[in-house]
Chains A and B, each alone.
Chain A
């Protein structure tokens, strides 16, 4: 499973059967897997004692988005941390969610979804986390442009106009992403707004 062609290859260690982590210059131990194998590799890491999930980062390349996870082991003797790398094509930016393994992955995956548009299958609550729910596009992609900058209100008009006027980042994945989150509108937040008074503009 491990990639033998990593440059600057240093020490390596066999975590468990078939999973070999290699030391890479600058970032420490690394494990690179195909996206189909991600969940399996992550489970193996979890079983091997890597119990602390630190972050997931997307990196935007022209054809694909590389994902880098960092997990740390509090149990292993040498207090190891591993960078788990995978890659998803931009045409289909989906990957298994790691929330079942580490609850901590929840917000981190939402962040990556928000800024890169990577869809994490099996995530319990995949909504935008930093940006407003009606934001268009994924800002950390290199081809993102904010010409269509939405106005921050709940006017559907602006959103439609913006979507029609400009087709910015990777049309296909965006549509699929929107389909994905259409039923996942932040219904509970909206409910709360109706019920409550404090802090919501509605009642002012």
Chain B
């Protein structure tokens, strides 16, 4: 699968079967990927707290470590040592599985993301479809959480989430069609490679549609209806505590990070930037964090929509916009 010729030679010299080599490499990548995710979440959470504190005239965490930099570890220790509580009528297996089902797909999305030129774990030629499809499985976990908790707030929250994710998946996918048309490929590395001009300039409508539906996908304000504190206490994870709660928490930030990286890849020119090519990952990281900052900015400024308004926006505004964008792109491409 990932084996290069040199590795294959090396394996055949020492009599290691190819499947074992593949397996070992896969495990190494999984660990590395998990580590990247974990680190990104740590940085993310710290930044999120500091950024939101800045928006809100606060300091944010200040006491654990330098400027509160170890706060997350303190939180993690607290969550890990908490009692594992099941609601008495919960469907235990579904309840247990739900956090994992939510978390894993969010994290699998990173497999196909090109971080720098040629730096990608698996450069699928349908990478774009993959990255749209896999994280969407996460909604199953949310429904499982709602269903398994035996809690009305949770079930309403999970149903809201399902409705919202299904509705916004459509404009989100359609908004990318324009990019595929211009780049002539659904392979993420080719899309980045083709971005001599960033697609945010060539595809402004698509960018807006994509950003809005991405906010809805990751349940960020103004689309945080599945977990509205003021209405549904905590939505689908009302009943979760301790470690399982941490998984949801984790999944949320991984999803945020994934959304920011995908936006970078599709619209902000990925690894492109001034300077030599090996600076690519740095540019990529800078752009990603800029994107996260934008999402945070929106999150801490806007109130949320009502459920019917969310649906209206998805189907009546974003979907036509995305279709118009495809039409315009097609016409322009025909003319040029």
A2 to B150 alpha-carbon distance, docked (Å): 62
Decide if the interface of chain A is mainly helix, strand, loop or mixed: loop
B5 surroundings in chain A (CB, below 8 A): none
A198 touches B88 (CB 8 A): no
A198 surroundings in chain B (CB, below 8 A): 151-153
The reply on A203 being an interface residue by CB < 8 A is yes
A203 to B152 alpha-carbon distance, docked (Å): 13
A198 to B88 alpha-carbon distance, docked (Å): 12
A197 surroundings in chain B (CB, below 8 A): 89, 150-152
A203 surroundings in chain B (CB, below 8 A): 88-89
Name the residue on B nearest A195 (C-beta). Answer: B152
Q: How many A-B residue pairs have CB under 8 A?
A: 11
- Which residues of chain A from 180 to 204 have a CB within 8 Å of any chain B CB? 196-198, 203-204
A203 to B86 alpha-carbon distance, docked (Å): 13
Name the residue on A nearest B154 (C-beta). Answer: A198
Chain B nearest CB from A109 CB (Å) reads 32
Chain B nearest CB from A97 CB (Å) reads 35
Name the residue on A nearest B150 (C-beta). Answer: A197
- Quick one: CB contact mask for B80-98 with A, threshold 8 Å, 1 for yes? 0000000011000000000
Name the residue on A nearest B153 (C-beta). Answer: A198
A196 surroundings in chain B (CB, below 8 A): 152
B153 touches A204 (CB 8 A): no
Chain A nearest CB from B147 CB (Å) reads 13
A161 to B190 alpha-carbon distance, docked (Å): 83
Chain A nearest CB from B38 CB (Å) reads 34
B152 surroundings in chain A (CB, below 8 A): 196-198
Chain A nearest CB from B273 CB (Å) reads 52
- Which residues of chain A from 87 to 130 have a CB within 8 Å of any chain B CB? none
Chain B nearest CB from A74 CB (Å) reads 33
A198 to B149 alpha-carbon distance, docked (Å): 11
A198 to B238 alpha-carbon distance, docked (Å): 11
- Quick one: CB contact mask for A40-58 with B, threshold 8 Å, 1 for yes? 0000000000000000000
A196 to B152 alpha-carbon distance, docked (Å): 8
B89 surroundings in chain A (CB, below 8 A): 197, 203
Name the residue on B nearest A196 (C-beta). Answer: B152
A65 to B287 alpha-carbon distance, docked (Å): 76
- Quick one: CB contact mask for B261-284 with A, threshold 8 Å, 1 for yes? 000000000000000000000000
B88 touches A204 (CB 8 A): yes
B153 surroundings in chain A (CB, below 8 A): 198
Chain B nearest CB from A204 CB (Å) reads 7
- Which residues of chain B from 70 to 128 have a CB within 8 Å of any chain A CB? 88-89
Chain A nearest CB from B152 CB (Å) reads 5
- Quick one: CB contact mask for B195-232 with A, threshold 8 Å, 1 for yes? 00000000000000000000000000000000000000
Name the residue on A nearest B149 (C-beta). Answer: A197
> Given known contacts A197-B89, A203-B88, what 5 new A-B pairs fall within 8 Å (CB)?
A197-B151, A198-B151, A198-B152, A198-B153, A204-B88
Q: What 8 A-B pairs are tightest by C-beta distance, nearest first?
A: A198-B152, A203-B89, A197-B150, A198-B151, A196-B152, A197-B151, A197-B152, A198-B153
Give 7 pairs: A residue, B residue, CB < 8 Å, sorted on A. Answer: A196-B152, A197-B89, A197-B150, A198-B151, A198-B152, A198-B153, A203-B89
